[in-house]
Amino acid sequence: MVIFGIDIRVYFLLFMLYSFIGWCMEVTGKLIQYKRFINRGFLVGPYCPIYGTGAILITFLLNRYTNDPFVLFIMAILVCGTLEYLTSYFMEKIYHARWWDYSQRKFNINGRVCLNTIIPFGLLGLFIMYVSNPFLIKNIESLPEVWLNGLFWTILVIYLIDNIISGKVITSLSSTT
């Protein structure tokens, strides 16, 4: 299946790559801050799906703005800021826990988003559209069909199993508190 000229398997692998990169950024930030490893992901595996989702939303929704970097920057902030806010809201409602809280920072909205976290979304949006997507899409699309299928199905199965296990763990934790 092809969406906007790109195979759905390519989008999924992009999603997983950006989710892994986001996890690395989060873990590195906490390693620097606390001098110890903290798994920042909601899931067991090394990925933060909010980053992958943000990157795919940028890819889907903002391609038409690549001729104007300033508009692309602002739109990436709006798309990812909205994603971060809604993710925080729904995770709190579903799991009765907050994964992040910016209420002590200036220019925050209900502690779910704040100015110093949404500005990097704009910069990452520029990086995604001008640098990483062209490189990653070209390389993923150049994979032989057997490799593309193998990677897609293997990573999809691992990801789905991780979601099931993590969902059960979080649900059991939240039901005991």
Give the model confidence (pLDDT) of 28-55 as tens digits: 988 888 888 887 777 888 999 999 999 9
Which runs of E-coded beta strand occur in the chain?
2-3, 6-7, 108-109, 113-114
Residues of the chain by 3-state class (helix, strand, coil), percent to 5: 75, 5, 25
- The DSSP code for 65 is G
pLDDT digits (tens, 9 = 90+) for 67-100: 999 999 999 999 999 999 998 898 888 777 777 8
| Stated pTM of the model | 0.88
Q: Which residue has the higher pLDDT, 4 or 148?
A: 148
At 175 the pLDDT is 58
CB 150: neighbour CB atoms within 10 A?
12
